[in-house]
Amino acid sequence: MYRLLIVDDEPYITDGLVELFTGLDYLDLDVYCAYSSAQALNWMKKVKIDIILTDICMPEMDGLALQKEVNSRWPRCRVIFLTAHSDFEYVKSAMLNNFSDYVLKTEGDAAIIKAVRKAIKEIDNEINNENILRKAKEDIERVMPILRKEYLLDLLHGAEISPKEHIEFFEQAQMELSPEQPVLLLIGHLDKWGKCIRIVEKNHKLYELNNIVNEYLGISVTLSSCVYEGTAIVWFIQPRLYNTADTFVNDWCNETWQRTISFVHGTLDSIQEKCRELTGISLSFIADSQQTEWNKLYERFNSMMFMLDQGFNSGGEIIIAGDKRKPSDELVLPYSTTSPELKVDLQLKKLDLLKSYLSKGEHTKFFDIYDQIMGSLKEIKQDNRMTEMEVFYSLAALFITFINRWNLWGRLKEDIDLSRLTRFEDHSSFDDFSNYFRELAYLILQYRSDSQATSTNQVISLINRYIEENIGGDLSLVRLAELVYFNPVYLSRLYKQVTGKNLMDYITEVKFNKCIELLKQKDKKIHEIASDVGFKTPSYFTRFFKKLADMTPQEFRDTLFG
């Protein structure tokens, strides 16, 4: 749907054109009118206008001045001038200022309709032309590195991604890494920023550090990276496949991986020294000693971060995950990557996913993850009451935040004992509070779903009631959208989705029913009915009624009263 604004200081011309274009259903136009340039500017402040059909010679602000305002507010808007023969000098000026077309007032309706159709075609062509598509492609290529990094971060955060989606993303994002082969993880932790404190400077330093690593490792491996929480850079590494004697080597055997792992481990000292020399930043590394499948990255990454957090704090370390020692000595680390504490920590980190699904109202995804988390925690808690307490209060904090945000205390207390939400001692076992939180989640999701449906129905009811009570007033899509603080296009789409009918069709239906009601009142004159139902001229009312009833208003009245 396109928005057409008709502007003329002579009301009979404006009203006639509104009547003309409102009756042309095949053009799919949302028609507005203004009787001065000032009124036209007010419309342009409220809503995007696609086409303006305006008199070129008007008092106060003529069509040319209006055109300049249009260009500054809505550059893609098409301006069609209605002119008289004496306005030709105006037309020549308009031609220098990006106008769409002009029509002589003496040419009649057909020429005006033709000009509007031409403007619609120009808009369609501009949206679909090759330059737009090429620019879109360039924009996608420009943001693709960001999308790649975001995807890698999603994997580190434990996002549930199917193998098919995984492969499809790699193809679309043109990732150099293979989606079907494992990767070696390398994490660089930023120990000290030095004097670098501003965000721009930090980002610049991160870029420098990443480039140094790429320079040292890129000669023998394929790698991609992402920044994690502003304090670490994570590299995803695979062997670089190469040509030898005109033969492409595609060998993912164990020997290839061991060569890659040895190369990465052996180069870290040099990378660390160069980072300190060029950037002044102390960087600790933790490098894995084995490759990891993509769908296992969440667990492996968090295990390595756990090792880094629990290990050494002096800065500048190189830790080889899996060896239980630093390369420089035989010091045994005071932790185990298979400890129950780490496993609990891994599961609790997934609570962010629960929070996301709860906010979005995604029932199935929420309970799939919830059951997975609680099932895993039940297996590893080893009857440790303190671990159970940690799990309980982590879940309690999540639900309390959500209940507060959506003000659900009043509704929930009618169906569940909310005092148990903060009292761990009221729950006899892990299963007891697991079931309690599951029931609470179900109620929250159900209330949110009901609330959204109720809110939507209230919007539709308000719109319908306004239309019925203001059938002779402003029923433009913009005005209706203002009532409920929606975007006009969104309101139109929502109305169709909920009711199954177009909003404009409902307005037509209400207008027609009101016409029937008023025509049954014998003392009511036709022109009065036209005005009461919002038609600017009796002739427009007559055409509207005949289109729906297959007879004129007078003919309908004659069938009633003879």
Reference 260, options 290, 300, 226; nearest CA is: 290
Instruction: Point out which residues pair with 102 in neighbouring strands.
Output: 81
Sequence-separated (6 or more) residues with CB below 8 Å from residue 309: none
Fold of the CATH domain 470-561? Arc Repressor Mutant, subunit A (1.10.10)
pLDDT (tens digit per residue) in 431-489 = 999 999 999 999 999 888 887 778 888 999 999 999 999 999 988 888 898 898 888 87
Question: Comparing 36 with 222, which gets the higher pLDDT?
Answer: 222
Bridge partners (DSSP) listed for residue 233:
188, 227
For 24-79, how does the pLDDT look when each residue is reduced to its tens digit (9 = 90+)? 878 888 888 888 888 888 888 888 899 999 888 777 777 778 888 888 888 888 98
pLDDT 10s digits, 105-164: 778 889 999 999 999 988 887 766 666 667 777 777 788 888 999 999 999 988 888 899
Q: Taking 80 as the threshold, does the pLDDT of residue 311 lie above it?
A: no
Laid out side by side, the sheet with 2-7 consists of: 29-34, 2-7, 51-55, 78-83, 101-104
pLDDT band, very low/low/confident/very high, at 244 (cuts 50, 70, 90): very low
DSSP structure string for 136-158:
HHHHHHHHHHHHHHHHHHHHHTT
| CATH superfamily for domain 2-128 | Response regulator (3.40.50.2300)
144-337 CATH, one of 1.10.150.110, 3.30.70.1230, 3.40.50.360, 1.10.287.130: 3.30.70.1230
Question: Is residue 8 within 8 Å of 62, Cβ to Cβ?
Answer: no
Q: What is the DSSP letter of 3?
A: E
